[in-house]
Amino acid sequence: MTVSAEKFQKARITFRKDHTEELWSIRVRPEHTIPFKPGQYGTLGIEEEGKIVERAYSICSSPHEDEVEFFFELVRIGRLTPPLYHRQAGDLLLMRHNAKGVFTLDGKSGHRQHLLICTVTGIAPYVSMARMLTHEARQGRPVDARLVVLHAASHSWEFAYREELDALAREFPWLTYIPLVSRPWEDLEWKGEVGRVEDVLRKYSDELGLEPQDTTVYLCGHPQMIENAKGILRRRGFAKEFIREEVYWVPKKEAG
C-alpha cells in the first residue's frame, strides 16, 4: 500500500510520556481534526519502504481537546509498536482521517449505569469517556450516567491514568475507579484490590448494585479476560446485547 492522501494525513507528536519501559502515551496534532465519540479508535501508521504499517488505537482524549491522545503497550515481536516506540515529540506519524468503532457509551437502552472493565491499555476509551463527562460537568451540564471502571494489570505501575481517574472519582460522584493488581507478590507496596477481573467481577457488580436490568458492561483489552468475563456476566444474567467488547488482539493458536 502506498501513502494515500485520501486516507491518511500527517499527525505530529506534540508530547510523549513514558509510564514504564513498555507503556507510553503520546499526544498528536493532526493536520485536520478528526471527529470522534469517546470509545472510538484512530488508525495510526508509519511508512516503511513505501508501504504503510497501520494499527488501531483507542483514543484517550476527549472530543473537546484540540490534540488526540493515545496510550500504547510495546509488543516486542510486533510490526508497528517497536518503530512507534522510537518516535518522539516533534516526529510525524500517519493517521487515517476517520475515527471508527462502536465501543461507545450506550445511549439507547436507557441504562444509566456503565460497568467499564479493562486490562492495562484497555483503559484508553474509558479515559476518553471520563474526560468527556468531566468536561460536561464543568460546563454546568448534568451528568446522567454512572461509570464504574474496573482496571486490571499485573502491577500497579501499569495504571498509567490512575492519578487522573482517582482525582476525578474524588471530585465526581458519577465515577468509581477500581484498580486491580494480579501479581501483588511482585508489588509489595500495593494496598488496593488484588486478583484478576474474573475473581472480583461478581463481588463488585453485587456490592455496587450493577444489575443486568440497568447496567451496560464494556470489556476492553486482553482477549482471554474478555472471554472469561463474558461467561461470568452471562451467568449473572446480563443479556448479550448489553455486553460490549473491544478485543485488542487475537491470541496465536497454541502449538499442537
Task: Kindly tell me which residue out of 41, 126, 218, 242 binds ligand FAD, with binding defined by CB under 6 A.
Answer: 41
* Contact flag: residue 252 with ligand FAD (CB under 6 A): yes
Q: Which of 119, 136, 105 is nearest to 36 (CA)?
A: 105
Euclidean distance between CA atoms 63 and 158, whole angstroms: 25
Site size for ligand FAD (CB under 6 A) = 22
Binding mask 77-116 for ligand FAD (x = CB under 6 A): xxxxx-------------------x---------------
Nearer to ligand FAD, 240 or 253 (CB): 253
Question: Nearer to ligand FAD by C-beta: 91 or 214?
Answer: 91
Contacts of 19 (CB under 8 A, 6+ apart): 25, 157, 158, 160
> Site for ligand FAD (CB under 6 A): which residue of 56, 137, 208, 232?
56
C-alpha cell belonging to residue 137: 460537568
Closest approach, Cβ 237 to ligand FAD, in A, equals: 27
The C-alpha torsion from 191 through 196 and 202 to 204, rounded to 10°, is 30
Among 8, 36, 72, 161, binds ligand FAD (CB under 6 A): 72
Nearest to 126 by CA among 219, 189, 210: 219
Q: Can residue 154 be called a binding residue for ligand FAD (CB under 6 A)?
A: no
Closest CA to 203 of 144, 115, 129: 115
Q: In the complex, what is the shortest distance from the CB of residue 54 to ligand FAD, in angstroms, rounded to a whole number?
A: 9
User: Which residues lie across from 119 on neighbouring strands?
Assistant: 152
Contact segment (CB under 6 A) with ligand FAD among 138-146, 147-155, 226-234, 242-250 equals 242-250
Burial class (CB in 10 A: 0-12, 13-18, 19+), 5: exposed
CB of 71 or CB of 174, closer to ligand FAD? 71
d(CA 37, CA 99): 8
Binding site for ligand FAD (CB under 6 A): 41, 55-58, 71-73, 75, 77-81, 101, 121, 124, 246, 248-250, 252
